[in-house]
Structure 1
Amino acid sequence: MTQGGNAPLTATRVTVEVTAPKPLDVSGLLLTEAGKVRSDADFVFFNAPEGPGVTHRPAAGGAPDAITVDTAALPSEISKVVVTASLDDTTATFAGTEPTATVRDAASGEVLVTFTPPRLGRETALVVVEVYRRGGSWKVRAVGQGYANGLAGIATDFGVSVEEPDRTAAPAAAAPPKPLAPPTAPTAPAPPAAPGALTKVTLDKGKVNLVKGGSVSLEKNGKPFLSAVRMGLGWEAAGRGRNIDLDASCIAFDAQRNKIETAWFMKLNVFNGAIAHSGDSLTGEGTGDDEAITVHLDGLPPEVCGLVFVVNSFSGQKFTEVKNAYCRLLDAGSGQELVRFDLSHAEARTGVVMCKLIRQFSGEWVMTAIGEYVDAKTARAMVKPAAAML
């Protein structure tokens, strides 16, 4: 599965195993339609391994930490169970050690789906997947939402009471530990926006300049900001009077990284115009965007989980002969530039995966700058490398 994707559950009882190169603690939270626990008893983890319809299995005998969800035994007011993972070492992060969730039929052990989040950074805890009710059936969704303040940050978001320990009291007089042990903290409670903490980048403060691997959520003040965006892609013509025919394309993928459609110069409109290409630029001459692709996010079919924007050299020249390639995201209505990513280097290859838009489990969209070069001269040849970068 890709981030934001979902799949129907074919078993009533499922076990979600989470593995990583570093030791993990896996937990489950039972949530109502309001997205909150009813009480701290809805938090299931190693110190409280039993909940209504949810159990924690500690790692043992080569089997990883896991959460088992019996959908038939969940209370009627519970609409989803989120499965989280946090690092045992509170000084470590998930950077370069992204965990993998394996969802199995609890009875047979058959693998139903797997999910590995995209590249992570300073996150120390993660909402990995969620098992949720939709109509009369249950599904699983790939989430991959990270937190820099450990499991305590996740628990607080979902309504679990988390208290800092009293570090001034003598050990003998210390209160019994709470069910949730917060991560190592300084002598005073850290403020919500402590320096160095990883926070979700949004459009609240205006235009965002991304670097390679950076992400920004297309929301403002906690709500989806835009329903229609335009991705502008540009480059400068090569020197010495030579022109280069570059083509920008948008490839839409489902939750299994399968291509659904491609908007490119040979097919300017897909999904009944929900994605529309501006047309082919043969030279890169002139100012401003050379090609643009408008996306009506609200008009995309629900099976579209990811959009990857690529540029390839149809004429076959290498990107080392191209100057100042960039992509920028604009408000399709006002034309206001919201996000910009400038390629800081070039490679002697004929294609580049510029960026991606991923639909999150919450419905919001997140843009991530990629900037990876590949050998591909057409949109068709870009599908496989683009899928690998979702």
Structure 2
Amino acid sequence: MTPGSNVPLSVPRVAVDVAATSARLDVSGLLLTGDGKVRSDDDFVFYNQPQGPGVSHRSGGGSGPDSITVDTAAVPAGIEKVVVTASLDGGGPFAGTMPTATVRSADDGSVIATFTPTGLGPETALVVVEVYRRGGAWKVRAVGQGYANGLGGIASDFGVNVEEPAAPAAPAAAFTPPPPAPGLPSAPPPSGAPAAYLPPPSAPPAAPPAPAPGAGKVNLDKGRVSLRKNETVSLVKAGKPFLSSVRMGLGWEPAFGGRDIDLDASVIAYGPQRNHIATCYFGKLSILNGAVQHSGDNLTGAGSGDDETITVHLGGLPPEVTGLVFTVNSYSGQKFNKVAKAYCRLLDAGTGEELVRFDLTGSEPRTGVLMAKLIKQFSGEWEMTAMGDFIDSRTAKGMVRPASAAL
């Protein structure tokens, strides 16, 4: 199988083995509803919780691969798909490994399909395949989507409550609390405390540290979101993925006292292995059977509002498209430090409502910039991340490789 391909299942019970020749893998399964989430933590099946409704985990015991078995007749009606994931036992990236999923009949062991994701690098966990319903029948699809934050990142993305382990407590003999604040009465030590114990002052707890710039992820529930570089917004409203048509507006102005500047906005579409699929730009205004459409070239950047727009029909994108990178280039060769007020904004194409905005500051003397990326999550939702990464390229063609590396 290749990424995105699917095979009908002719048997009701299938086992998915995942193995790598040079590494031991931990394999797990998640039962997902139509919104791409588990119903509860009971829908996460792995070595510490090997039984779920219609899904079970079998350990290879060190000599064979771990396996997830799906009994499609026993899977609850509200479950749309079962995703099979893998991570390296003991942690670490998949670079240099060749994980292979083998889908077999759970009854007679006959092989139905195999899939080996390729081009893996820093990913520490993978969604390998999914077993899913379609029109009353069951199929298996090759996925190969990587996560850099391990199995916990996959589980959290699908709604599993992942608890971080608590830091170990310091030994009692090493405890050295601060002295009581002046004027505060002493209190007797708690039972079992060492003789040197002094109670801490009665002061309010310290405020948690502020999040680092660019950290965190929000959704659209509270209205328009303003992003800084490297911040991400999940295109979700009221718990549901936003799958309507969106319009990316890109704008700029000449720097103060400067002449008109011709910039070109483009969008580059990629597949699950960061493979280039198509580019929409002023020379090709429509791609992917009209799912992505460009407004046309603006030669000056003059005037207020968006200079160029690109409309994306999210629900109409082919399933093999999992990433979109929006770029701006200076075809005439002028540098971005001669540009003022560069921005991009995402709008609901149907209502014109502005959903997300990123105002680029601190331009560099280069001729291209990766403005933002839209990444499709395995749960079905899209996430937009502000980028603002400058590249030396005057054309969208020269942005294909750096944009792929930035996904």
TM-score (norm 2): 0.66
Across the aligned residues of Structure 1 and Structure 2, the Cα RMSD in angstroms comes to: 4.7
- Per the TM alignment, residue 59 of structure 1 is displaced from its structure 2 partner at its CA by 9.7
| Pairing of 1:158-177 with structure 2 (within 5 A) | none
- Percentage identity across aligned positions? 50
TM-score (norm 1): 0.69
User: Which residue of the other structure, out of 221, 233, 236, is the alignment partner of 1:204?
Assistant: 221
On the 8 A contact 1:218/1:367 being kept in 2, the answer is yes
Letter in 1 for 2:328: V
Give the equivalent residue in structure 1 for 2:320: 303
- Per the TM alignment, residue 376 of structure 1 is displaced from its structure 2 partner at its CA by 1.4
- Per the TM alignment, residue 53 of structure 1 is displaced from its structure 2 partner at its CA by 6.9
On the 8 A contact 2:18/2:27 being kept in 1, the answer is no
| Gaps in structure 2 of 5+ consecutive residues | 105-110, 168-207
Letter in 2 for 1:137: K
Give the equivalent residue in structure 2 for 1:82: 83
| Pairing of 1:254-269 with structure 2 (within 5 A) | 254-269=271-286
- Per the TM alignment, residue 302 of structure 1 is displaced from its structure 2 partner at its CA by 2.6
Q: More relative contact order in 1 or in 2 (CA 8 Å, sep 6+)?
A: 1
* Structure 1 pair 98–148 and aligned structure 2 pair: CA distance change class (3 A): closer
Whole-angstrom distance in 1 between the partners of 2:224 and 2:399? 29
Give the equivalent residue in structure 2 for 1:168: none
| Pairing of 1:1-390 with structure 2 (within 5 A) | 6-8=4-6, 14-16=16-18, 27-30=28-31, 36=38, 40=42, 43-48=44-49, 54-55=56-57, 57=59, 67-69=66-68, 76-77=74-75, 80-83=81-84, 103-105=99-101, 112-114=116-118, 128-133=127-132, 135=134, 136-142=138-144, 154=156, 157=159, 182-184=163-165, 200-225=217-242, 227-390=244-407
- The residue matched to 1:113 in structure 2 has which SS? coil
Q: Greater CA deviation, 252-261 or 312-321?
A: 252-261
Q: Greater CA deviation, 228-237 or 51-60?
A: 51-60
- Per the TM alignment, residue 347 of structure 1 is displaced from its structure 2 partner at its CA by 2.2
Whole-angstrom distance in 2 between the partners of 1:337 and 1:307? 19
| Gaps in structure 1 of 5+ consecutive residues | 120-124, 163-180, 187-193
Whole-angstrom distance in 2 between the partners of 1:331 and 1:87? 40
Letter in 2 for 1:133: Y
* Structure 1 pair 148–380 and aligned structure 2 pair: CA distance change class (3 A): closer
Aligned residues: 343
- Per the TM alignment, residue 153 of structure 1 is displaced from its structure 2 partner at its CA by 7.0
Give the equivalent residue in structure 1 for 2:189: none
Whole-angstrom distance in 1 between the partners of 2:275 and 2:155? 34
Letter in 2 for 1:307: L
Letter in 2 for 1:322: V
Residues 114-153 of structure 1: CA deviation (Å, up to 9, x unaligned): 486999xxxxx97845532355431133456799995897
On the 8 A contact 1:308/1:353 being kept in 2, the answer is yes
Whole-angstrom distance in 2 between the partners of 1:204 and 1:318? 37
Residues 268-305 of structure 1: CA deviation (Å, up to 9, x unaligned): 22234322211111121111111111112222223322
- Per the TM alignment, residue 360 of structure 1 is displaced from its structure 2 partner at its CA by 2.1
